[in-house]
A and B are shown apart, each in its own frame.
Chain A
Amino acid sequence: MSVDLKEMLIKPASSEETEGRQPRPSAAAWLSRYGAYLALALLVLFNLAFTPHFATMQTFSVNLAQICTIVIVGVGMTLVIATGGIDLSVGSLMAIAGAIAPGFFTGYYFPSAPPYLNIALSIAVPIAVAGLFGLFNGWLVAGFRIQPIIATLVLFIAGRGIAQVWTNGDLQVFKMPAFQAIALGHVLGVPLQIWIMLAVVILAAWVLRRTVFGRQVLAVGGNEAAARLSGVPVGRVKCLVYVASGLCSGVAGLIVIAMNSAADANLIGMGTELDAIAAVAVGGTLLSGGRATTTGTLVGALIIQLVRYTLLANGVPDSAALIAKAALIVIAVWLQRQERA
């Protein structure tokens, strides 16, 4: 009963996934909400017309594999941003997960354990560890009321150091098909990592849309004081989104090392936090919180990747593509701004 009441209190009027604000019948509002999908459609059409070999399975797989880890991290980031926070530590948490995993499946930590157990541990433990570090972030944000950007800056700086200390900065090279299947295995002709990415996106979309927790996340981001007054456990909700972000980072870290057949604590997840934030912004999630869309984050990452791919395929250097990416972010967020103004 109390759950229903809470849900009624904080349930916004629209029933789409992009919650929290009433749609307004203006062109700018429409562009802000669906512009990302329109842009993606235009990009695909452009490439179908002008880029040779675009409509092939290989192009599809290559482009999706490029954004896989960004989207997985971006989903966690979407939840964090939906509460009005930010998580800068994701790249470092990826490095931690990636750094501790090889020790399990190479049998370095537990030489006498059976191989299947070691492989199971090499997946479960790094993700759990990343989740625990996420809990630490949440504890700082919720318990100490430290601004998210500073609270997560601590692990941004220290986290990569922890991963480097753990491996002594060494490159760990390995060949372990049973573990690497999480990135390189194929199901129905599509790499498994893409299925994992889709599963994460859909799971988070379902959580945001259908669960009480999802409503609470949006309520906290929309108006924290009001959410607190209507009985939302603000501290717990904030804590949990950072845990979710940590878990996503752990998964992404494992996929990176499985893809590369190597773990390099100096490089895993370098700069991923900014790529993820960019994908979230372009995808139409409000950066001030209160409205979130994980499918939008997927679309945002796809747009950024396709713009880069289109430019590269047509002979533009990668450095110029960076400038295009910058312009893309500004335009996307500016359009959001128009809706709110």
Chain B
Amino acid sequence: MKRAHVSGAGIGVTLALLFLIIVGGWRYDGFLSSYNILTVLRYNSMFALVSLGMCFVIMTGGIDLSVGSVAAMTSVVSAYLSPYGLLPGLLGGVAAGLCAGALSGFIIVKLRILPFIATLAVMLAASGVGLLLADNQSVAVSYDSSFTSLGQGSLLESFQPDWVGGDNANWLGTALSLFFNFPTPAWLALVAYVVATVLLNWRPFGRHVLAVGGGEEASRLMGLPTDRTVFLVYLMSGGLAGLAGVILASQFGAGQPIEGVGWELFAIASVVVGGTLLSGGRGSVLATLAGVMLLGLIFTILNFENGMGWISLSAYWQSVIRGAFLLVVVMLQSKLARPITA
């Protein structure tokens, strides 16, 4: 019964996403062009990674406010390491994110402080560390190493045969060209989502996460490693935020200590739109991905709509529409969820 409700929300958000894509493709020229699709995927992969970590945190009944400033901090760290190559930049950034996540986990598990406040403190601390390291400026990444290929490149680009693509390609050609030009950050996000789906559905860790979210005390009494599960979830969120920060630096060519403002709330919104309940205990990884894409597409659609010239909505409408969308989703959820609880 309860699981049916979750997949219902997941199907709802997926249908809404498909509807948006179909309407966009029918209404706007170039909306389904490979250029547009790849741009949307490349840009939103950072948010997809951050939202994935948030999804796991929320499933345990917690919250992680630090993801945005952790990503900003790790973008600085990886920018400093970028002259040494792609791997040092990547590993350094992720390690910095893991440290921040471990700190959150430690404060929550050992000091028993509410996740909201613990991660608020880590948010401030990460932001302070990022600004200190960067001396309050952007840090340019090195273009001499391969570091920027992580955010700007496409993993399989060099394998693309000559006959793929071209101007008058049929659907198969377009699909193959999409495959070979699939952005590297989107591959990273895709792999992360596949691994997370496996973890959640087929590994003990996933069961523990849902059990802790359903009732921490009960899980503890059942002998589940609740503290370890909670710690690991924040560690994971920190690591994914770190990865997002590395992509940020690599994609925009600079470590930016003041970026990431509001990312945490965007991620929470994506998770909620994806139907994961904030009270914990239930959730879906793939619906979160649909939530990220849905909120991300609103911006793209707004651009295309303005391009048609019928209306002229400033970019500021984007947040109004996102907020309204979130409102509709939570109201629907509250209507759906009430018969179960009350």
Q: A154 contacts which of B127, B136, B317, B323 (Cβ < 8 Å)?
A: B323
Q: A323-B128, A337-B111 are in contact. List 4 more A-B contacts (CB 8 A).
A: A149-B268, A157-B319, A168-B314, A274-B123
Answer yes or no: A117 CB below 8 A from chain B CBs: no
- A157 in contact with B269 given A326-B125, A330-B121 (CB within 8 Å): yes
Answer yes or no: A181 CB below 8 A from chain B CBs: no
Answer yes or no: B118 CB below 8 A from chain A CBs: yes
Interface residues of B (CB under 8 A from A): 63, 65, 107, 111-114, 116-118, 120-125, 127-132, 136, 261, 265-266, 268-269, 272, 278-279, 314, 316-324, 326-327, 330-331, 334-335, 338, 342
Q: Which residue of B lies closest to A151 (CB)?
A: B330
The residues of A that contact B269 with a CB separation of less than 8 Å are 153, 157
Answer yes or no: A227 CB below 8 A from chain B CBs: no
Answer yes or no: A86 CB below 8 A from chain B CBs: yes
Answer yes or no: A334 CB below 8 A from chain B CBs: yes
- A333 in contact with B113 given A161-B320, A326-B121 (CB within 8 Å): yes
| Shortest Cβ gap from A51 to chain B (Å) | 22
Q: Are B278 and A287 in contact (CB under 8 A)?
A: no
Q: Which residue of B lies closest to A89 (CB)?
A: B323
The residues of A that contact B327 with a CB separation of less than 8 Å are 140, 154, 158
> Which DSSP category, helix, strand, loop or mixed, fits chain A's interface?
helix
The residues of A that contact B65 with a CB separation of less than 8 Å are 274
CB<8 Å pairs between A and B, sample of 10: A140-B330, A145-B338, A147-B278, A154-B323, A159-B323, A168-B316, A274-B65, A322-B127, A326-B122, A330-B113
Q: Are A158 and B113 in contact (CB under 8 A)?
A: no
Q: Are A317 and B132 in contact (CB under 8 A)?
A: yes
Answer yes or no: A320 CB below 8 A from chain B CBs: yes
Q: Are A320 and B128 in contact (CB under 8 A)?
A: yes
Q: Are A146 and B334 in contact (CB under 8 A)?
A: yes
Answer yes or no: A215 CB below 8 A from chain B CBs: no
Q: Which residue of B lies closest to A86 (CB)?
A: B116
Q: Are B128 and A153 in contact (CB under 8 A)?
A: no
Q: A333 contacts which of B117, B136, B272, B335 (Cβ < 8 Å)?
A: B117
Closest CB pairs A-B (n = 9): A158-B323, A322-B128, A161-B319, A319-B131, A164-B316, A326-B125, A161-B320, A323-B128, A157-B323
The residues in A between 256 and 291 inclusive whose CB is less than 8 angstroms from any CB of B are 270-271, 274, 277-278, 281, 287-288
Q: Which residue of B lies closest to A144 (CB)?
A: B334
Q: Which residue of B lies closest to A281 (CB)?
A: B117
| Shortest Cβ gap from A235 to chain B (Å) | 13
Q: How far is the CA of A288 from the CA of B112 in the complex (A)?
A: 13
The residues of B that contact A337 with a CB separation of less than 8 Å are 111-113
Interface residues of A (CB under 8 A from B): 86, 88, 140, 144-147, 149-151, 153-162, 164-165, 168-169, 270-271, 274, 277-278, 281, 287-288, 317-323, 325-327, 329-330, 333-334, 337, 341
Q: Are B323 and A155 in contact (CB under 8 A)?
A: yes
Q: B114 contacts which of A146, A154, A164, A288 (Cβ < 8 Å)?
A: A288
- A321 in contact with B121 given A150-B272, A158-B322 (CB within 8 Å): no
Q: Are B314 and A330 in contact (CB under 8 A)?
A: no
The residues of B that contact A287 with a CB separation of less than 8 Å are 114, 116-117
Q: How far is the CA of A341 from the CA of B112 in the complex (A)?
A: 10
| Shortest Cβ gap from B121 to chain A (Å) | 4
The residues of A that contact B323 with a CB separation of less than 8 Å are 154-159, 161
Q: A156 contacts which of B122, B265, B324, B342 (Cβ < 8 Å)?
A: B265
Q: How far is the CA of A330 from the CA of B116 in the complex (A)?
A: 11
Q: How far is the CA of A134 from the CA of B252 in the complex (A)?
A: 38
The residues of B that contact A271 with a CB separation of less than 8 Å are 261
Q: Are B331 and A327 in contact (CB under 8 A)?
A: no
Q: How far is the CA of A110 from the CA of B72 in the complex (A)?
A: 45
The residues of B that contact A270 with a CB separation of less than 8 Å are 261
| Shortest Cβ gap from A298 to chain B (Å) | 19
| Shortest Cβ gap from B130 to chain A (Å) | 8
Q: How far is the CA of A329 from the CA of B326 in the complex (A)?
A: 30
Q: Are B117 and A329 in contact (CB under 8 A)?
A: yes
| Shortest Cβ gap from A295 to chain B (Å) | 21
The residues of B that contact A169 with a CB separation of less than 8 Å are 314, 316
Q: Which residue of B lies closest to A322 (CB)?
A: B128
Q: Are B334 and A145 in contact (CB under 8 A)?
A: yes
The residues of B that contact A164 with a CB separation of less than 8 Å are 314, 316, 319
The residues of B that contact A327 with a CB separation of less than 8 Å are 121, 125
Q: Are A150 and B124 in contact (CB under 8 A)?
A: no
| Shortest Cβ gap from B185 to chain A (Å) | 24
The residues of A that contact B326 with a CB separation of less than 8 Å are 150, 153-154, 157-158
| Shortest Cβ gap from B126 to chain A (Å) | 9
Q: A158 contacts which of B107, B324, B330 (Cβ < 8 Å)?
A: B324
The residues of B that contact A323 with a CB separation of less than 8 Å are 124-125, 128-129, 132
Q: Are A144 and B331 in contact (CB under 8 A)?
A: yes
Q: Which residue of B lies closest to A167 (CB)?
A: B316
